[in-house]
Structure 1
Amino acid sequence: MATTTTALQASTDTLSSHGTAAEPLGIYVHVPFCASTCDFCAFYQKQPTADEVVRFLQGIERESALVNWPRPVTSVFWGGGTPGMLAPRTLGELAEIVRARCGGTPAEWTVELAPGSVTDARLAVLRDAGVTRVSMGVQSFQPELLDALGRQHTREQIYRAYDRVRAAGFRSVNLDLMFALPGQTAPEWAGDVREAVSLGPDHLSTYCLTFEEDTKLWVKLSQGRVKLDPEYEAALYEATWSQMADAGYAQYEVSNFARPGHVCRHNLNTWRMHEWVGLGPSAASQHGGWRGGNVADLEKWLDQVGRGERMTEDRLMLTPAALAEDALIFGLRMNEGVDLSPWRLRAPEAPWSVVEDTLATLAAGGLLVRTGSIVRLTTRGRLVADAVGAEVMAAFEPITETA
């Protein structure tokens, strides 16, 4: 663990107590277009028309012009939806809009692609635009499970897409997998991990299926057609961590594993409570002392951007204590843990005595360990990271309620 932590600290900028110019700045672009909605997906998306794609690009350009860009951008991430739904020429146009606001060349530029959307033409445009990292949503190699999730790609498309991405020469490739799927057995999941590892990706994300409201899977859960099994999920978590370690991948967050030099900088910067600018309908932002999101509706977002408005949803003025709370909640999900010292300096008004008591209780329960000012979850703690986060949130409630 010490080697992994040192490598992570060396690969990214450390937290500045006063928000200096060296602090990372990210851009997230939400491309809301998708051919169909997967049963598990709760992200805003819609089937596009040619006119909507054109107006989406215009909206991104207008919204980016509304931002007071404080310093050069260090990471870019395009998600969705499916950015690969855009035609090669359109991808290039979007890249030009984004690159014009970066103030230089981002150290990392990630684009999410579905296997069925990967073509040589799209990859060439992205590579030439400066994209360094491709994240491909595989989910499973089992045809029956892909069908049950509502995924539109096949096992064969995964292999073809991966070969094309590798041939295109991107610096880093990630594969997304999901476990605890309805009907999925433990051997099937272990087989999916082996299959993914055999391809040799630089990074793997393994997500436990969650049931988000307003999704088809949520409806099935409410109808009793599928059931939750926390003990089974915990067993799959532990088996995955062991299997990934044996395959030579270092775990750096509960669900994320990487070979040396291939951690996702954009996600690390987000978990460490640095700043990022969200562009597009439903995109979240955290910069300029505020956190908020864009409305999850293409037409309403276009109207608001046309009026010079953005970050209109769940808008919150960020206090140092609020940032410290989130830094602890999200930071504990990372294997490196959280150094409390800079946050104590940055947010002296936070209820640190209550927080310390909570951390001591969690440590006594075997859920975390402390090394000086650094706190980390144990293996047992990572299995219940969400519950630990809820305890930390409760410890900060006095300051949150009076803020």
Structure 2
Amino acid sequence: MSLQAKPSGPLTPLGLYVHVPFCARACDFCAFYQEAPRRGDIDRYLEGVASEAAAMLTGRPVETIFWGGGTPGLLPAEDLRRLGETLLKQLPGPPREWSVEMAPSAVKPDKAAALREIGVNRISMGVQSFDDALLDKLGRQHRANQIYRAWETLREAGFDNINLDLMFALPGQSREQWLADLNEAIRLAPEHISTYCLTFEEDTALWVKLSEGKLRRDVPQEAELYQLSWETLEAAGYAQYEVSNFARPGHACIHNLNTWKMTEWVGLGPSAASQLGGRRFANVANLDQWLAGIEKGLPARVDEVDLTPSILATDTLIFGLRMNAGVDLAKLEADWPDIDLSAVRPWAQTLVAEGLALLEGNSLRLTPEGRLLADRVGADALELLEE
């Protein structure tokens, strides 16, 4: 397959994800691909993104852009500006939503100004906790005082759409500590809050500690803290719209919503994934191999899958149920008439009988109890519709 990916069908808006792999040091829980920020590698990366963007962005409108990492905000201001201008050259117009992940320690006035200049209108800041002792246990590089300085810098730069990422079920974290983190985030009044249960990914420092018996998961506590999250945030005016995401009215993340609804998106950079032209694939998670593929016009890709109707119908059901709006079963059946979905409605009735879902007409959505078991429900749906 050549580097260029021609769109199929009507020119509907795309999502664009850019993976910026540079990070000062890996956090103990992080399994994302990352590299140390060496000047030569940053320059090579920026040149590679420019070439890949020219090949992959073929004139279709891009509705949303999301820069993730790594730590995109680790790039100097001039590199952030260069990366943004590189993308804008390939687009017919500016995106509706442009998000950039930032670590509190990387937020500086010149970087915030550069992001505003190129059109970034949403920041997602990886706070995780306001408790310095808990941040230490996660291997985070920032402290609570840096969160507050970063917050002031972003607001002063004019950002009026900010997400704060928080993490619960941390080693040694009490119910009171999690509630304190939630309340401190609420006090800052961001437009969006994401809350994630700590997961132990293989090949991370926390996974090693878990496998050695130095840490233990407390599944009942995880459920308790999750329930505390939605009760506390709902009372503060943050509506839950997906298992881990809460927003004030009008501030749900459009990029993520479109992804969960199985639209198309392009991923640029090493390890970035794409869903485009009836295929799903990821760039190799290696800077040198990714660059070599771009230079040859033969992208180094992994996990290439032809998106059959069965795969898309299954993913629509699984990700749809993670959203509070749920799934319209009649639309699912109409969108995929050639797929045998006869088992879905009886399965939905089983979920209802177990108290895990509500079925109102054709609308199937999880109850709070069902959202606590969303991963299990998704696994059941996958098994139900496996080819």
1:15 equivalent in structure 2:
none
> Is 1:198 aligned to 2:187, yes or no?
yes
Provide the rounded CA distance (Å) in 2 between the counterparts of 1:106 and 1:56. 23
Q: Which amino acid aligns with 1:207?
A: Y
Code of the residue aligned with 2:148 in structure 1: it is Y
1:357 Cα deviation after fit: 2.3
TM-score by length of 1: 0.92
| Structure 2 CA distance for aligned equivalents of residues 221 and 91 of structure 1 | 37
How far, CA to CA, are the matches of 1:42 and 1:194 in structure 2? 28
Query: 1:148 — aligned with what?
Result: 137
Which range moved further: 59-68 or 103-112? Answer: 59-68
Residue type at the aligned position of 2:45: F
Residue equivalent to 1:362 = 351
CA distance in 1, matches of 2:172, 2:233: 23
Q: Give, in whole Å, the separation in 2 of the partners of 1:334 and 1:29.
A: 24
CA RMSD, 1 decimal: 1.3
Supply the AA of the counterpart residue of 1:208: C
Equivalent of residue 33 in structure 2, options 41, 44, 51: 44
Q: Which amino acid aligns with 1:196?
A: A
Q: Whole-Å Cα distance in 2 between the matches of residues 312 and 351 of structure 1?
A: 31
Asked if the contact 2:15–2:265 (Cα under 8 Å) also holds between the matched residues in 1, the reply is yes
Tell me which residue corresponds to 1:89: 78
Alpha carbons 1:63, 1:310 under 8 Å: kept: no
Residue number in structure 2 paired with 1:348: 337
Deviates most, 278-287 or 333-342:
333-342
Any gaps of 5 or more consecutive residues in structure 2?
A: 1-7
Deviates most, 338-347 or 142-151: 338-347
Partner of 2:112: 123
Cα displacement string for residues 195-228 of structure 1 (whole angstroms, at most 9, x for unaligned residues): 1110010000010001111111111111111111
Question: Which is further off, 159-168 or 331-340?
Answer: 331-340
Structure 1 partner of 2:161: 172
Which of residues 282, 285, 294 in structure 2 aligns to 1:296? Answer: 285
Q: Which residue of structure 2 aligns with residue 325 of structure 1?
A: 314
Q: Counterparts of 1:152-301 in structure 2 under 5 Å? A: 152-301=141-290
Instruction: Report the identity percentage.
Output: 55
1:249–1:257 Cα contact (<8 Å) kept: yes
Q: Which residue of 2 aligns with 1:373?
A: 362
Matching residue of 1:3: none
2:339 and 2:74 map into 1 onto residues whose CA distance is 45
In the TM superposition, what is the alpha-carbon distance from 1:19 to its structure 2 partner? 6.4
CA–CA separation in structure 1 for the residues paired with 2:91 and 2:214: 47
On the 8 A contact 2:240/2:246 being kept in 1, the answer is yes
Letter in 2 for 1:392: A
Q: What SS class does the counterpart of residue 76 from structure 1 fall into?
A: strand
1:50 CA displacement: 0.6
Query: 2: distance between equivalents of 1:286 and 1:300?
Result: 21
Cα distance in 1 for partners of 2:102, 2:173 equals 24
3-state SS in 2 of match to 1:262: coil
Q: Write the distance in 2 (CA, Å) between the matches of 1:232 and 1:59.
A: 45
1:69 is displaced (CA, Å) by 2.8
Contact 1:351 1:395 in 2 (8 A): no
What per-residue deviation string (whole Å, max 9, x for no partner) do you get for residues 74-125 of structure 1?
A: 0000000001111100111100111122321100000000000000000000
Aligned residues, how many?
A: 380
**Matching residue of 1:78:** 67
Confirm or deny: 8 A CA contact 2:125 2:165 kept in the other structure.
yes
Question: Paired residue for 2:16?
Answer: 27
Superposition TM-score, scaled by structure 2 size: 0.96
SS class of match (1:64): helix
The amino acid across from 2:218 in the alignment is: D
**1:112 aligned to 101, 108, 132, which one?**
101
1:194–1:143 distance in 2 versus 1, CA, 3 Å: same
Contact 1:292–1:311 (CA under 8 A) maintained in structure 2: no
1:386 has 2:375 as partner: yes
- The question of 1:66 aligning with 2:66 is answered no
C-alpha contact (below 8 Å) 1:113/1:137 kept by paired residues = yes
Counterpart AA for 1:273: M
Separation in 2, partners of 1:203, 1:318: 32
| 1:155-176 Cα deviation digits (max 9, x unpaired) | 1000000011011112300100
Distance (Å, rounded) in 1 between the aligned partners of 2:100 and 2:45: 17
SS of 1:390's equivalent in the other structure is helix
Q: What secondary structure is seen at the aligned counterpart in 2 of 1:227?
A: coil
> Does the residue aligned with 1:296 lie in a helix, a strand or coil?
coil
AA of the residue aligned to 1:185 = S
- Structure 1 unmatched ranges of 5 or more: 1-17
The CA distance in 2 between the partners of 1:214 and 1:232, in whole Å, is 24
Q: Is the 8 A contact 1:38 1:149 kept in 2?
A: yes
